[in-house]
Structure 1
Amino acid sequence: MSDGASDSVSPAGVLRAAYEAFAAVVDPLEDDESWLPTACTGWAVRDLIFHCLADAQRGLVALHTPAGGAADRDAVSYWADWQPGSVGAANGRRWARVSASMFLDFRQLRELYLETAAATVTAAATTSRSAFVSTQGHTLTADDLMTTLAVEATIHHLDLVSHLASAPGPSAAGLAAVRSTLDGLLGRPAPVDWSDEHYARVGTGRVRLTQTEQALLGAEAARFPLFG
């Protein structure tokens, strides 16, 4: 018999918590709200939901794509390829906007996201944690893949609710995974007393460092954002 407490902090449990928290925001949204802005440059709510749909779909495919050989990325080093301001990031923003606009009825996009995210969570729960899987041209363990999916969903949850005043926030487990990832990229725990939410925003370039924060970080300030 599995231990419910240990299940909740396993990568599959963290992914479930992150996706269910995100889904709780998406589920009641109507068309008018889908046009509100988010904290992602150039994206409305519907654009961001489409991007997260694509990420959940990528996760679902990866969890069913066994890979041979050893992993070349883990839950931290996976993010080394993802930096803000790149050509790839700009192209991704355009692709999400154009693709999301093809849903003339927002409810279709909303329901597709909800069912795909639920399927990804189910797949995660039944995949061997040590299995090697492929995604984005890299090989990771299933555990590490699940963590990266939870981290992305949690960061985008903060983006999503920026203009949805009554919407619930991200899961505590997801925020803890984001903090652990950022600490891993930095090489040590953040030397600044940041909340999980602020660390997530600063660490991914959503918010710029203040002069006080730059002074506390010293030379490490130049490394921010750590990914985005």
Structure 2
Amino acid sequence: MDLFSLALGALLDAVGELTDSDFERPSGCAGWLVRDLVCHLVIDAQDVLITLVTPTADPVTHDAVTYWKVSGSPSDDPLAELTVRLAAAYGEPWMLKHHVDDVGQAALRAAQLADPTLKVSTQDMVLCTSGYLGAYVWEWTLHHLDLVMHLPGASGPPVAALARCREVLEQIAGPFPSSWPDADVLLVGTGRRAPTEAERAELGDLAIPFVLA
């Protein structure tokens, strides 16, 4: 749960440092500009708030790792095009920055107040609150990488969050070369960048990319 706050706090800080022109740059999410990604973060924060107030007495079915499933492509998301249209509707970047900070800070407060043992329901899954918030460390960290991919000099995700996300990916996909930095493991392992020839040789039979949704 501490990593949730660390990862989301760093992401909100990074969004707050964006210039107006940064919103028109491409992000690490294929087909999305930075503004589209920031709009998606609004939806993510809203999902967190909704889930934290959706308790259930049903047995736990998933944890921070099994919450994620391998899918074919980010374009499989039926809300992808809606997100682009919604982002454009904001008009001015400051409006989008204000909204994501507003709901993001609310998600931070809600997480800090949450009972880690409470069971919550989302997307036909049941998780302990601690497991659900742990799952979102992946979401915040990967999208932080997406946010800064084409913004030289921008601050990346916290080291601890990168390390945790690498653990998640390797539990699902198998181990990556130990010499690889965590950020490279995540970028290559999720198809955000193609491996170099040398990296491909090191990967051997490990199949990539993995898109976790």
**Per-residue deviation, residues 137-173 of structure 1 (Å, max 9, x unmatched):** 2111111111121211111111111122121111122
**Per-residue deviation, residues 164-215 of structure 1 (Å, max 9, x unmatched):** 212111112211221111121125x434421010011112111233444444
The TM-score normalised by the length of structure 2 is 0.91
Q: Is the 8 A contact 2:74 2:211 kept in 1?
A: no
Match of 1:137 among 124, 145, 162: 124
SS at match of 1:79: coil
Q: 2 CA distance for matches of 1:164 and 1:87?
A: 23
1:1-228 pair list within 5 angstroms: 12-80=1-69, 82-85=70-73, 88-89=76-77, 91-187=78-174, 189-219=175-205, 221-222=206-207, 224-228=208-212
Q: Is the 8 A contact 1:56 1:149 kept in 2?
A: no
Identity between Structure 1 and Structure 2 (%): 33
Q: 1 CA distance for matches of 2:42 and 2:26?
A: 18
Q: Is the 8 A contact 1:55 1:149 kept in 2?
A: no
Structure 2 alignment gaps of length 5 or more = none
> In structure 2, what is the equivalent of residue 7 of structure 1?
none
SS at match of 2:14: helix
| Counterpart residue type for residue 21 of structure 2 | D
Q: Is the 8 A contact 2:73 2:211 kept in 1?
A: no
| Counterpart residue type for residue 98 of structure 2 | E
| Counterpart residue type for residue 200 of structure 1 | L
Aligned residues: 212
Structure 1 alignment gaps of length 5 or more = 1-11
The TM-score normalised by the length of structure 1 is 0.85
Q: 2 CA distance for matches of 1:68 and 1:211?
A: 50
Q: 1 CA distance for matches of 2:74 and 2:143?
A: 18
Q: Is the 8 A contact 2:71 2:211 kept in 1?
A: yes
> In structure 2, what is the equivalent of residue 5 of structure 1?
none
Q: 2 CA distance for matches of 1:208 and 1:109?
A: 31
The verdict on how the C-alpha distance between 1:51 and 1:84 changes in structure 2, with shifts beyond 3 A counting, is farther
Q: 1 CA distance for matches of 2:195 and 2:18?
A: 32
The verdict on how the C-alpha distance between 1:33 and 1:86 changes in structure 2, with shifts beyond 3 A counting, is closer
SS at match of 1:134: strand
**Per-residue deviation, residues 78-110 of structure 1 (Å, max 9, x unmatched):** 111x42426632x33212101111101221111
SS at match of 2:111: helix
Moved more, 29-38 or 108-117: 29-38
SS at match of 2:126: strand
Q: 2 CA distance for matches of 1:144 and 1:214?
A: 33
| Counterpart residue type for residue 123 of structure 2 | Q
